[in-house]
């Protein structure tokens, strides 16, 4: 089988150019016109940013609804949205707009935040580079993962989900080449609920399930 | 003396260092010039002292220049800086002419270097005027704002904006600090150097020496706030919080800081603090001389809890320093403190002296939480606010701008 090429990536954040949202109506309006990269960033790239909010919600809109708008109902509804369950960013955008619009319909007043708590729309460029490291056997995958940077974990396990083959992480795609022998490992990787893991935790979890899958073979 | 990248490997890990070297290989020989106001003091100088050698270590031809000027120029540029931070300042047309004249002279002195560079990074407002006088620029010019200009005094910003908008891009520490500008605005938080005199590990003898110097009792909990004596840092509020705690728990307080000679408000604040300290032997007001890095380091390490009860704050690198020393921080719910202090993880955000007192009492009552939160705080800084992350973002910034592409992903 071909060696696994370990890539790494780093995120470069920038302002989207959209004005910040001071209330829920403005959030709706901005999301309806923002670029797909903005949506992608606030849903999918949050793990690469410093935050302790990962145990609650993975996307920035849910975190903002909870912490600053004080709308826990909206936070719960947005927080459960899985960006990887949508085929396109357009579908994700439509789903998010529906949730916010429904919530606006339920409220008697548009909720506002105090100055300083606005939602700032950001986007990022993911700079990807080859580390030069190669993994030559499936058995070496788990120990190699333990030595990877957060950027590598993000690129191969999360970012990969939106690359062809869509919905498949790079580790599983590579293990498929090794045939049915590694099916338990692939199933174990698929079973990881990554929404509740920070990248350092995800690294440990990936190594753990791969080692356990090896034992089951 | 700044350590090269290898010295950070034990702190951030070999994979993080290897990542930087890989990125550096893609930029080998890139000519980068940083320009700021001074090499001597302040957060920007501390960052550049660390960052420039690290850039060189990964293969970039990085240099660091400072603007030269007479005291009048630095008074004006200090006023510009204060205006950008929201203070009402009077700057006449003559003042701005002096600012431009000095910028032109500096540009004349550095023109060849600046015009040939691939990237010129201009830090804060003092050298921002250089671009206008370097018409044959070959590379990209970036304006790096270390301060919060979101609520700047408009007459100052309106003039400076005419200079800044000519840059190819700007860099802010947080989205909240930015102003609308007609070019890309990147977000790069600052960092602290774990190997500097202010942050390096200290041995027990050094710590006990500082404790004895300021007459602190090793048997009782110590609260410390290190900050400029300025109302926006709310040292009076810290004393109020201390007094509320003192009613139930015997604690000591150190308020350590400096005082800008051109700030009459600071003098009044210092006098109030000294008066409070005279009446209470457990309040220690420490007037720090310039360059008292080891004392700051020791005081932060001696603290049980560090306070940064600001009502207005930039990024708040003193918070980062305290978190790196494994101390939970009770901080004002403003500026960059909000990015760093996360309730129940790295400390607590508070809005009032009462709130600060409540959280101090909570932590002193649950001493094990001080240790747990301190450990978490240190790891948080290790991952996010050390030079390795900062350098990585500069390298990715150079790669992204140089590519000229605007796609979400960039393969290099």
Q: What pLDDT, in 10s, does the model give residues B89-117? A: 999 999 999 999 999 999 999 999 999 99
Give the pair of three-digit tokens for residue A144. Answer: 């190699």
Residue A53: per-residue pLDDT: 53
**Which of the residue ranges A78-82, A193-197, B112-116, B289-293 would you say has the lowest mean pLDDT?**
A193-197
Give the pair of three-digit tokens for residue A158. Answer: 């999360």
CA A205 to chain centre: 16
> Which chain B residues in 322-361 lie under 8 Å from chain A, judged by CB atoms?
334, 339, 342, 345-346
Q: Is B404 on the interface with A (CB under 8 A)?
A: no
Q: Do A12 and B393 touch (CB under 8 A)?
A: yes
Q: Answer yes or no: is pLDDT of B231 > 60.
A: yes
Question: What is the mean predicted confidence (pLDDT) over A142-166?
Answer: 91
Q: What is the mean pLDDT of chain A?
A: 91
Query: Domain residues of chain A, as ranges?
Result: 4-9+126-216, 18-120
Residue A44: per-residue pLDDT: 92
Give the pair of three-digit tokens for residue A184. Answer: 């338990």
A196 pLDDT band, cuts 50/70/90, is confident
Smallest Cα–Cα separation from A84: which of A120, A108, A59, A116?
Answer: A59
- Pairing label, strands B185-187, B222-226: unpaired
Q: What is the dihedral of CA A109, A110, A115, A120, to 10 degrees?
A: 160
Question: What is the mean predicted confidence (pLDDT) over B168-181?
Answer: 94
Question: SS3 for A19-50, per residue?
Answer: CCECEHHHHHHHHHHCCHHHHHHHHHCHHHCC
Q: Supply φ then ψ for residue A19, to 5 degrees.
A: -65, 150
Q: Supply φ then ψ for residue B148, to 5 degrees.
A: -85, 110
Q: Tell me which chain B residue has its CA closest to the CA of residue A147.
A: B15
Q: Answer yes or no: is pLDDT of A166 > 90.
A: no
In angstroms, the CA B267 to CA B262 distance is: 9
Residue A217: per-residue pLDDT: 64
Question: For residue range B310-367, what is the model confidence (pLDDT) as tens digits?
Answer: 998 889 999 999 999 999 999 999 989 998 999 999 999 999 999 999 999 999 999 9
Within 13 Å, how many C-alpha atoms sit on residue B401's CB side? 26
Question: For residue range B232-249, what is the model confidence (pLDDT) as tens digits?
Answer: 899 999 999 999 999 999
Residue range B5-191+386-403 forms a domain whose CATH class is alpha beta
A178 pLDDT band, cuts 50/70/90, is confident
CA B41 to chain centre: 11
B263 pLDDT band, cuts 50/70/90, is low
Q: Answer yes or no: is pLDDT of B1 > 50.
A: no
Q: Specify the residue for token string 């290989």.
A: B25
| Angle value at C-alpha B346, between A41 and A82, nearest 5 degrees | 30
**Which of the residue ranges A21-30, B261-270, B312-321 would you say has the lowest mean pLDDT?**
B261-270
In angstroms, the CA A152 to CA A159 distance is: 10
Edge-to-edge strand list for the sheet holding A4-15: B61-66, B31-36, B119-123, B140-145, B169-172, B185-187, A4-15, A122-135, B409-411
Q: What is the dihedral of CA B139, B140, B146, B148, to 10 degrees?
A: 150
Q: Is A11 on the interface with B (CB under 8 A)?
A: yes
Smallest Cα–Cα separation from A67: which of A118, A10, A125, A120?
Answer: A118
Question: What is the mean predicted confidence (pLDDT) over B252-266?
Answer: 81
Residue A52: per-residue pLDDT: 56
Question: What is the mean predicted confidence (pLDDT) over B117-131?
Answer: 97
The shortest CB-CB distance from B185 to any of A14, A116, A129 is to A14
C-alpha pair distances (Å), B390 with each of A73, B70, B92, B393: 37, 32, 37, 5
In angstroms, the CA A51 to CA A179 distance is: 39
**Residues contacting B392, CB < 8 A, separation 6+:** A10, B16, B19, B20, B23
Q: Is B183 on the interface with A (CB under 8 A)?
A: no
Question: For residue range A46-71, what is the model confidence (pLDDT) as tens digits?
Answer: 888 766 555 578 899 999 999 899 99
Smallest Cα–Cα separation from B377: which of B325, B333, B331, B337?
Answer: B325
CATH number of B204-384: 3.40.50.2000
Q: Answer yes or no: is pLDDT of B41 > 50.
A: yes
Q: How far is A184 from chain B (nearest CA, A)?
A: 29
Give the pair of three-digit tokens for residue B307. Answer: 């306070």
Residue A57: per-residue pLDDT: 86
SS3 label, residue B82: helix
Residue B269: per-residue pLDDT: 87
Positive or negative, the CA dihedral A148, A154, A158, A164 is negative
Q: Which residues on B lie below 8 Å from A150 (Cβ)?
A: 383
Q: Tell me which chain B residue has its CA closest to the CA of residue A129.
A: B412
The most distant pair of C-alpha atoms in chain B lies apart, rounded to whole Å, by 67
In angstroms, the CA B173 to CA A191 distance is: 38
CA B361 to chain centre: 29
Q: What is the mean pLDDT of chain B?
A: 94
Bridge-partner residues for B285, per DSSP? Answer: B255
Pick the residue of A5, A9, A11, A14 with the most B CBs within 10 A to test the interface with B by mutation: A14
Same fold, B5-191+386-403 and B204-384: yes
Q: How far is B184 from chain A (nearest CA, A)?
A: 7
Q: Is B311 on the interface with A (CB under 8 A)?
A: no
Give the pair of three-digit tokens for residue B29. Answer: 């020989």
In angstroms, the CA B302 to CA B211 distance is: 7
Give the pair of three-digit tokens for residue B31. Answer: 């000519």
Q: Provide, rounded to the nearest whole percent, the portion of chain A with pLDDT above 90.
A: 73
Q: Answer yes or no: is pLDDT of B51 > 60.
A: yes
Question: What is the mean predicted confidence (pLDDT) over B171-177?
Answer: 94
Query: Domain residues of chain B, as ranges?
Result: 5-191+386-403, 204-384
Note whether B118 and B168 are within 8 A (CB).
no
Q: Answer yes or no: is pLDDT of B58 > 90.
A: yes
Residue B67: per-residue pLDDT: 96
Give the pair of three-digit tokens for residue B25. Answer: 């290989």
Residue A162: per-residue pLDDT: 86
Give the pair of three-digit tokens for residue A41. Answer: 């960033």
Q: Which residues on B lie below 8 Å from A128 (Cβ)?
A: 409-412
- Pairing label, strands B185-187, A4-15: antiparallel
Q: Do B186 and A122 touch (CB under 8 A)?
A: no
């Amino acid at each position: 089988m071909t060696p696994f090429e370990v890539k790494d990536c780093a995120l470069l954040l920038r302002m989207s150019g959209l004005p910040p949202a001071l209330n829920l109506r403005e959030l709706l309006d901005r999301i309806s016109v923002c670029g797909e990269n903005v949506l992608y960033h606030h849903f999918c790239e949050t793990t690469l940013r410093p935050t302790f909010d990962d145990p609650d919600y993975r996307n920035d809109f849910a975190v903002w609804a909870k912490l600053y708008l004080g709308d826990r109902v909206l936070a719960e509804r947005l927080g459960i949205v899985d960006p990887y369950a949508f085929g396109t960013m357009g579908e994700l955008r439509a789903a998010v707009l529906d949730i916010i619009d429904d919530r606006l319909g339920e409220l008697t007043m548009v909720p506002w935040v105090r100055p300083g708590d606005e939602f700032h729309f950001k986007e990022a460029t993911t700079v990807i580079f080859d580390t030069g490291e190669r993994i030559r056997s499936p058995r070496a995958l788990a120990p190699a993962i333990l030595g990877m940077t957060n950027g590598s974990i993000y690129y191969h396990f999360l970012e990969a989900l939106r690359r062809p083959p869509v919905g498949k992480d790079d580790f599983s795609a590579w293990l498929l080449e090794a045939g049915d022998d590694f099916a338990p490992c692939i199933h174990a990787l698929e079973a990881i609920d990554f929404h509740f893991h920070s990248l350092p935790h995800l690294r440990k979890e990936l190594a753990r399930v791969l080692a356990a899958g090896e034992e089951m073979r | 003396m700044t350590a090269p990248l290898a010295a950070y490997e034990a702190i951030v890990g070999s994979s993080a260092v290897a990542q930087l070297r890989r990125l550096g290989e893609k930029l080998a020989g890139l000519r980068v010039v940083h320009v700021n106001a001074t090499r001597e003091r302040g957060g920007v100088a501390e960052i550049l002292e660390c960052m420039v050698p690290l850039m060189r270590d990964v293969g970039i031809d990085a240099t660091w220049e400072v603007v030269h000027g007479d005291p009048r120029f630095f008074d004006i540029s200090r006023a510009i800086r204060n205006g950008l931070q929201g203070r009402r300042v009077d700057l006449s047309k003559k003042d701005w002419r002096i600012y431009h004249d000095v910028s032109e002279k500096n540009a004349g002195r550095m023109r060849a270097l600046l015009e040939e560079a691939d990237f010129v990074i201009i830090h804060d407002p003092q050298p921002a005027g250089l671009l206008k006088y370097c018409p044959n620029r070959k590379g990209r010019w970036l304006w790096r704002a270390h301060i919060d200009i979101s609520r700047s005094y408009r007459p100052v910003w309106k003039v400076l904006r005419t200079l800044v908008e000519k840059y190819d891009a700007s860099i802010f520490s947080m989205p909240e600090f930015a102003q609308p500008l007609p070019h890309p605005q990147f977000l790069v938080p600052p960092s602290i150097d774990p190997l500097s005199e202010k942050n390096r590990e200290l041995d027990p003898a050094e710590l006990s020496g500082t404790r004895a110097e300021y007459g602190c009792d090793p048997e009782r909990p110590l609260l410390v706030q290190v900050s400029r004596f300025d109302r926006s840092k709310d040292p009076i509020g810290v004393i109020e919080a201390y007094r509320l705690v003192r009613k139930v728990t015997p604690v000591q307080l150190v308020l350590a800081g400096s005082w800008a000679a051109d700030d009459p408000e600071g003098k009044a604040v210092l006098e109030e603090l000294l008066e409070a300290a005279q009446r209470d032997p457990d309040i220690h007001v420490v007037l720090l001389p310039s360059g008292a890095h080891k004392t700051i380091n020791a005081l932060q390490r001696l603290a049980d809890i560090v306070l940064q009860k600001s009502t207005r704050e930039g990024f708040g690198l003193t918070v980062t320093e305290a978190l790196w020393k494994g101390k939970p921080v009770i901080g004002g719910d403003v500026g960059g403190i909000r990015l760093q202090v996360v309730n129940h993880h790295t400390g607590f955000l508070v809005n009032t002296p009462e709130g600060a007192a409540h959280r101090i009492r909570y932590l002193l009552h649950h001493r094990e939480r001080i240790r747990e939160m301190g450990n978490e705080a240190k790891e948080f800084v290790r991952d996010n606010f050390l030079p390795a992350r900062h350098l990585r973002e500069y390298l990715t910034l150079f790669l992204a701008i140089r590519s000229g592409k605007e796609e979400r992903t960039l393969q290099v």
